[in-house]
Structure 1
Amino acid sequence: MSWLLILSLVTALPPAPQSVQGFISTEDLTVLCAPQNDSPALCLGYLVGAVDQLLAGQARRPATRRTICPPANLSAEAVQTALLLRLGRDRANRPQAAADAIRQAVEAEYACPLGAGVRPGR
């Protein structure tokens, strides 16, 4: 009888999920943030959320370990411009996840000056 219980438990397990839903790729973000896109609010909203998360992580670090030092007047449009320029320059080395592309663009554009934090890649 125990073998029947084991068999029913093993066959009743749900299949593993195919992929995580709700996250977008760099290619999807590039299309979403393209200047000719009819819905710029979706792009800007995604960028604001991603940058907020990055800055929250930076705030938990000591000042000398921060890699991002944005200006006080940073705007979502400025991040969009930096992202599209970076993605346009280096198509071969695009990260797979959109959040990675945003992090790389923000770290490159708003890197902390020497002495204020750690430069990316060091």
Structure 2
Amino acid sequence: MTHPVDVHVGKRVRHRRWLVGMTQQQLAERVGIKFQQIQKYETGANRVSASRLWDIADALEVPVSFFFEGLSTEDSGTPVHDGVPADLFGDKEALDLVRSYYAIPENQRRRLFELARVLSDVA
């Protein structure tokens, strides 16, 4: 049976990997393991050792603490804050949207942001 902390850490690994546009194979190569092991970490089927988590954090360019952020809120379900689920980045579509948003030139991105703000106020 998987432990909730292992599942949470695995989700955070997957979310960060998606956010930076890295495949499981690419992450595995950077860490020096097989991609199947990354799959097991991401599902929480296998527990990530401290040293391996350190290597994964280095490969994904985040502090180790990143993988534990939001842990206490996730234990009690998926809370909503200001209408946004706490596990927003668990949704691949949301990650693709964020990645696409930051690919837009800054001046256009600001205008798009203002448009989205106006539209959300109307809704």
TM norm. shorter chain > 0.5: no
TM-score between both structures, scaled by the size of structure 1: 0.28
Q: Which has the higher contact order (CA 8 A, sep 6+)?
A: 1
Q: Which has the higher helix share?
A: 2
TM-score between both structures, scaled by the size of structure 2: 0.28
